Structure 1
Amino acid sequence: MSIQFINLTINNIDKEHLCCAISDKKHKDGVFAKKEWLKERIAEGHVFRKLDEKGKIFIEYAPLEKAWVPIIGDNYLYIYCLWVAGSFKGKGYAKQLIEYCINDAKDKGKYGVCVLSSKKKKPFLSEKKFFMKYGFEVADTAGNDYELLALSFNGKKPYFSESAKKMKIKNKEFTIYYTLQCPYISNCIKEVKEYCNKNNIPLNLIAVDSLEKSKNIPCIFNNYAVFYNGEFETNHLLNESFLKKKFNL
């Protein structure tokens, strides 16, 4: 039996699993929130394409104008995530998924495809080397490490907003900007709140709940961003052990 890819739609989203959080009960609320967020985005051209198997094999992208990221550009597709994990690696699935996205962009008359990456591999960001194989180039940079990669079909390229390049805020408290786009975030926020309350650590949570807010975030953003002492620290989803190690709290 050949393995097939499927796209989530309004008609199948309630019965289909989300690849990145399949069976872990602690992410149940996050999966529900993600699906509710997706239901509104699908009508905007958001694509969630996955292998029709129980595993973490998917690509997620959207028209850049509607993508919840502080990136500006006309007529591009923005890739939020491309993930192939576990025993499914090495079978050409990532190649099939990126080629589907590129062809979809061309079929829709887009100017290109872009994705957030970094000079050196970072958690929760796409790997630069993989995209360079398909002709992606660095279109813009932010901070010391972060890069916007773009595959342009006509020479025009997207760029980070001016706010995204600041990578600083005035508030010195431990601050997290977040959306409910990722199913892991609900539980992550819960763990961070519990840890900060237990240790009397001031915590400033900023829910990014609209396209307008996402386009004006003061740092790179792909659904999560952490500041400490006014400086951008990481896009890594935090838990108690990570908090202890990263911030010595």
Structure 2
Amino acid sequence: MKSNFINLTTENIQQEHLCCIIRTKKFHHGINAKKQWLNKRLNEGHVFRKLNEKATVFIEYAPLETAWVPIKGENYLYLYCLWVLGDYKRKGYGSSLLAYCINDAKAKGKSGICMLGAQKQKSWLSDQTFVKKNGFKTVDKTNNGYELLALSFDESTPYFPEKVKNPTIENKELTIYYSMQCPFVFNTIKKIKQYCTENNIPHSLYHIDTLQKAKELPCVFNNWAVFYKGIFETVNLLDIKYLERILKK
């Protein structure tokens, strides 16, 4: 299909929208934080490709070696996000974006592409049913329902470190690891911090602001991870109702 797609660059990133938060006309701290984060990643081979319209139609991926995820492997691309929402669904945009990523990986001599999935689809993870139809297979699993999906070109496979497969931490209070890779994170963290402070809920919020910190995380991570009572809960961003359900455990 012929469509007008563009890639974000260090030259155009300030003028372009990010697809995720496109309805607001007001200044949004999350958008600014994401652009700052992304601008530093673009020279590392990070790709953000989107439909050149005011729409949520985009793909975002990076070399696994510089992707902010605790996944082991060599010569792979890591697929953070692939989203097509609203009236743009079922028009071939997702297939076009994924084909671009696959062709890019092959042109760069990569061994394959991988992404985070789950035995039960998570609302903040890209559609794994779609990528499985396009050749991705489960190559590793955690003991709490998450999966590593990969499209391998040479039979090599990435994998989860053992601490990621069995995620626990010593800290028993609400603990959240987050990066600014997602523009929704900024306001979500602000709301959680305010709620916990007002309700005297002990909490630890860890800003993952370096590649090294991301690679050393004790759990699966796309840009967010939640623990409570030392047990891993979710990679889903939390609203207050979801947080309250976790705190009742």
TM-score by length of 1: 0.96
Give 2:59's aligned amino acid.
I
Residues 8-55 of structure 1 show CA distances to partners (whole Å, capped at 9, x for unaligned) of 001100000000011336771111011011111000000000000101
What secondary structure, in the 3-state scheme, does the structure 1 residue paired with 2:164 have?
Answer: coil
Whole-Å separation in 2 of the counterparts to 1:26 and 1:227? 33
Residues 179-209 of structure 1 show CA distances to partners (whole Å, capped at 9, x for unaligned) of 0110000000000011101110001001111
Whole-Å separation in 2 of the counterparts to 1:227 and 1:27? 31
Whole-Å separation in 2 of the counterparts to 1:28 and 1:21? 9
Paired residue for 1:12? Answer: 12
Paired residue for 2:202? Answer: 202
Whole-Å separation in 1 of the counterparts to 2:94 and 2:219? 28
Paired residue for 1:165? Answer: 165
Query: What is the alpha-carbon root mean square deviation over aligned residues?
Result: 1.4
Q: How does 1:97-108 map to 2 (within 5 A)?
A: 97-108=97-108
Residues 95-120 of structure 1 show CA distances to partners (whole Å, capped at 9, x for unaligned) of 00111100100000000000100111
Kept in 1, the 8 Å contact 2:45–2:63? The answer is yes
What secondary structure, in the 3-state scheme, does the structure 1 residue paired with 2:20 have?
Answer: coil
TM-aligned CA distance change 1:67 to 1:239, over 3 Å: same
How many residues align structurally?
248
Whole-Å separation in 2 of the counterparts to 1:148 and 1:196? 32
Unaligned residue ranges in structure 2 (runs of 5+)? none
Give 2:67's aligned amino acid.
A
Q: How does 1:124-163 map to 2 (within 5 A)?
A: 124-163=124-163
Whole-Å separation in 2 of the counterparts to 1:80 and 1:198? 34
Q: Percent of pairs identical after alignment?
A: 56
Whole-Å separation in 1 of the counterparts to 2:162 and 2:24? 38
What secondary structure, in the 3-state scheme, does the structure 2 residue paired with 1:159 have?
Answer: coil
Paired residue for 2:71? Answer: 71
Paired residue for 2:55? Answer: 55
Whole-Å separation in 1 of the counterparts to 2:26 and 2:71? 32
How many angstroms does 1:248 deviate by? 3.3
What secondary structure, in the 3-state scheme, does the structure 2 residue paired with 1:123 have?
Answer: coil
Paired residue for 2:226? Answer: 226
